[in-house]
Amino acid sequence: MNATSEKALLDFINQELLTNKEERVDAFTPLFQEGWIDSLKILQLIAFLEVQRGTDIPDREVVMDRFQNVHSICEHFLQPKTEQTV
Amino acid sequence: MTSHFTSDTNKQKQFPGARVTTDGRAVLSGVPLRLFAKLEKTFLNMALESGAEEHSYPSLIGNQVLRCAGYFKSFPDGATFVTAPGLSHDCSLSPAVCYHCYPNFAQNPLQKEVTWTCQGRCFRHEKGNYEGLARLWEFTMREIVFCGPEDWVRQQREDWMKRVLRFCEESGFSAGLEESTDPFYGTVSRGQQLLQRLKKLKYELRLNLGDGTTTAATSFNLHETHFTGTFGITAASGQPLQTGCVAFGLERWVLAALEQWDETRIHRFLSQTN
């Protein structure tokens, strides 16, 4: 797990998406069951992830086991690519 | 007469007793009408057996209800507005039957979970994109609407998915259940669809129509707190409430029966006692 990516994503969600200062999530807060993310915020979140990783995220990859919380999002979408060995 | 009731020959086969205008109005008689009545009675009985309370609503619905439900934001071109000389308030022809239920649920704090069933004509303007009985401007919907705590509403939907799949199996409908989304419009439509799929808020039962095509004949929907929040639906206990619904598109079921079944099977289904 890349701790820098996780922190960057947490900062983005807590500072940009959750405008109410009393609302804060941590790496394991369920983002969708608890209603933190609405239909506008999910678009902003995906746009942020696409910029961070440099590639688009197809709709079919937006599934709950990958978007459960900040930790799982980083694991699936912001994991540094390992070099392929031959 | 025939010029008014020209069958849509583009995408749909024609069946004796089922005439559809090019602007999406269906005229049924004979076997299609008997199938319609039998299927409607079957789904009503399923609802009553599950403990649902039956309600009847008009086709007209106040635009303030649709506005409160967020209908115009999600489907800005779908409404069929109604006007009349001297009309002092704005009305539409109802795009779904369940919209009538939510203001009723909000009248008094609910003492316990509720399951209502209602049937009515629904109207969705599709700008000419009609496909025989599979996509009509005016169609008939039987709905079962739930309101209660989240886990209870989810369980109702699960039970209904099983119930309807069992009905398909027993009566010989070729069908499959799929996750789905509504065709939202507007700037956050992709966001709404992503959320709907992510949270598995909508499933559709798709009935086979032959040559690889299917039609979504029943949807199983969770609304979370959307309607309880916007209409102010509360529980006497103070417990947070959610809603969900199951919606049968009756003309699509008729179409699937006509497409899938031979005369013998149709006759057998029609002669079963409900």
Tens digits of residue pLDDT in B160-218: 999 999 999 999 999 999 999 887 777 778 998 999 999 999 999 999 998 889 999 99
Q: How many Å apart are CA A74 and CA A12, to the nearest integer?
A: 13
Residue B12 has a pLDDT of 63
Residue A81 has a pLDDT of 59
Of B194, B224, B225, the CB nearest to A42: B194
Q: In 3-state terms, what secondary structure has residue A80?
A: coil
Asked if A65 reaches chain B (Cβ–Cβ under 8 Å), the answer is no
CB contact under 8 A, B195 and A67: no
In chain A, the number of structural domains is 1
Of B192, B193, B198, the CB nearest to A64: B198
Question: Residue A35's domain is classified under what CATH number?
Answer: 1.10.1200.10
Tokens coding B66 = 């649709």
**Exposure string for B227-246, b = 16+ CB within 10 A, e = fewer:** bbeebebbbeeeeebbbbbb
**Exposure string for B188-200, b = 16+ CB within 10 A, e = fewer:** bbbbbbbbbbbee
pTM for this predicted structure: 0.87
Asked if A77 reaches chain B (Cβ–Cβ under 8 Å), the answer is no
CB contact under 8 A, B198 and A32: yes
Q: How many Å apart are CA B93 and CA B174, to the nearest integer?
A: 33
Residue B11 has a pLDDT of 52
Q: In terms of DSSP H, where are the helices of chain B?
A: 30-49, 63-69, 71-74, 101-105, 150-171, 189-198, 226-231, 250-260, 263-271
**Residue ranges in chain A modelled with pLDDT below 50:** 84, 86
Tokens coding B218 = 């029943």
Distance from CA of B187 to the nearest CA of A (A): 8
- Whether A84 is covered by a domain: the verdict is no
Residue B104 has a pLDDT of 96
Q: What is the residue extent of each domain of chain B?
A: 18-58+96-271
Domain B18-58+96-271 has what CATH class? alpha beta
> Mean pLDDT, consecutive 10-residue segments, chain B of 274 residues?
37 82 94 98 98 97 95 88 86 96 97 98 90 95 98 98 98 95 80 91 95 94 94 96 97 97 96 84
Q: How many Å apart are CA B63 and CA B70, to the nearest integer?
A: 10
The answer to whether the CB of A1 falls within 8 A of the CB of A71 is yes
In Å, how far from its chain's centre is CA B264?
Answer: 28
Q: Which residue range(s) make up the domain with A49?
A: 3-77
Which chain B residue lies closest to A65 (C-alpha atoms)? Answer: B198
Residue A1 has a pLDDT of 55
Tokens coding A74 = 């980083």
Q: How many Å apart are CA A33 and CA B242, to the nearest integer?
A: 13
The answer to whether the CB of B59 falls within 8 A of the CB of B172 is no
Burial class (CB in 10 A: 0-12, 13-18, 19+), B59: middle
**Site of tokens 């992830």:** A49
Element (H, E) at A7: helix A3-11
